[in-house]
Structure 1
Amino acid sequence: MEINCKYCPKNDGTGACNIDDCPLTPIIQEMEEISGFLNITCQNNPVEIQERIAATMVYVVRTGEMLADAKRMLRKRKSDEIQNTIIKIAQENCLSAKVQNALLDSIAENESFLVDRLDRLNASATHQLDALRTLLSYEKEALRLNKTGY
């Protein structure tokens, strides 16, 4: 995923940032790793399903933590921009609240994307966990029926 560094807090003034010091990079890398795991199709093997449930439960918790961190970063970014940019522009040009909010959203584009993506990733992990539990129950019932002959 490409990061738009134009508004990055680590921006060097030319529109580029020092990627080694970028606060978004580690979160984005972990997000991509979790997304890759969730995109793998699970087989109908009860042992594999149980292992996947255990791993997915960890990812549900982790994506929730990452989402909270991303929301905190977004709030901080918006707060900083309100103090620096929007108040100055609003005083000079008397911008409407709607225009100010649109400007704020465009300034915090990376953080907003991160929040949206992590929200979806967390929801996907939760739904996958529910589906895996259902699949495991189905496989257990199939094994029970095969043993009893019904």
Structure 2
Amino acid sequence: MTNHISTIEEISKELKLIQSTIETEMSEDVQEAVDRGNYCAAQMARTGKLLADAKIHRDRKLNSQIIAQMKKLSALPATTANKFADALCEDENYIVNWCERINRACTHQLDWCRTLISKAKAEMSQMNG
């Protein structure tokens, strides 16, 4: 199975698009909730893939930086060495964190959409019954 790993630039570009959509305030219109829910469900899957890609980039950078900085890292206490290693991958860590946060935001928005749809169903039942 060949799996295309998105570049950091591609990941960042997609995250910007998703971010701008999920930052858009939503009304309580049921159709809008359904549409947003469908969008969020799809983006949860997509951001999961982007997150995996971002972690590959971070791991690759970390591995190359650890080799390059082995002498410095070996002289540091373990916790300090870990923080130093994380600092070497600052951009990659940023993208990983951004993917995780957008994925989580989509999850919360999807929950909100379900709530609005349930509310609308309950109101329709009360009106018809």
The interval holding the TM-score normalised by the smaller chain is: 0.7 to 0.9
| Counterpart residue identity of residue 128, structure 1 | Q
CA distance in 2, matches of 1:74, 1:145: 53
CA distance in 1, matches of 2:93, 2:22: 22
Structure 1 outlier segments of 4+, above 3 Å: none
1:52 paired with 2:36, answer yes
Instruction: Kindly state the Cα deviation for residue 99 of structure 1 after the two structures are TM-superposed.
Output: 2.6
Instruction: Kindly state the Cα deviation for residue 97 of structure 1 after the two structures are TM-superposed.
Output: 2.0
**Which is higher, the Rg of structure 1 or of structure 2?**
1
1:116 equivalent in structure 2: 97
1:88 paired with 2:63, answer no
Runs of 5+ unmatched residues, structure 1: 1-22
Instruction: Kindly state the Cα deviation for residue 89 of structure 1 after the two structures are TM-superposed.
Output: 2.3
8 Å contact from structure 1 (residues 46, 140) kept in 2: no
Task: State the secondary structure of the residue aligned to 1:56.
Answer: helix
| Aligned with residue 73 of structure 1, among 45, 57, 75 | 57
1:143 paired with 2:120, answer no
Query: What do residues 108-144 of structure 1 show as CA deviations (whole Å, max 9, x unaligned)?
Result: 0000111111111111101110111011110121122
1:100 equivalent in structure 2: 81
Instruction: Write out aligned runs for 1:4-43 (5 A).
Output: 23-43=7-27
Tell me the C-alpha RMSD between the 2 structures: 1.4
The structure whose RCO (Cα within 8 Å, separation 6+) is larger is: 2
Instruction: Kindly state the Cα deviation for residue 68 of structure 1 after the two structures are TM-superposed.
Output: 1.1
| Counterpart residue identity of residue 71, structure 2 | K
CA distance in 2, matches of 1:144, 1:45: 17
- Identity among equivalent positions (%) equals 28
Instruction: Kindly state the Cα deviation for residue 146 of structure 1 after the two structures are TM-superposed.
Output: 2.1
1:3 equivalent in structure 2: none
Task: State the secondary structure of the residue aligned to 2:83.
Answer: helix
1:7 equivalent in structure 2: none
| Counterpart residue identity of residue 72, structure 2 | I
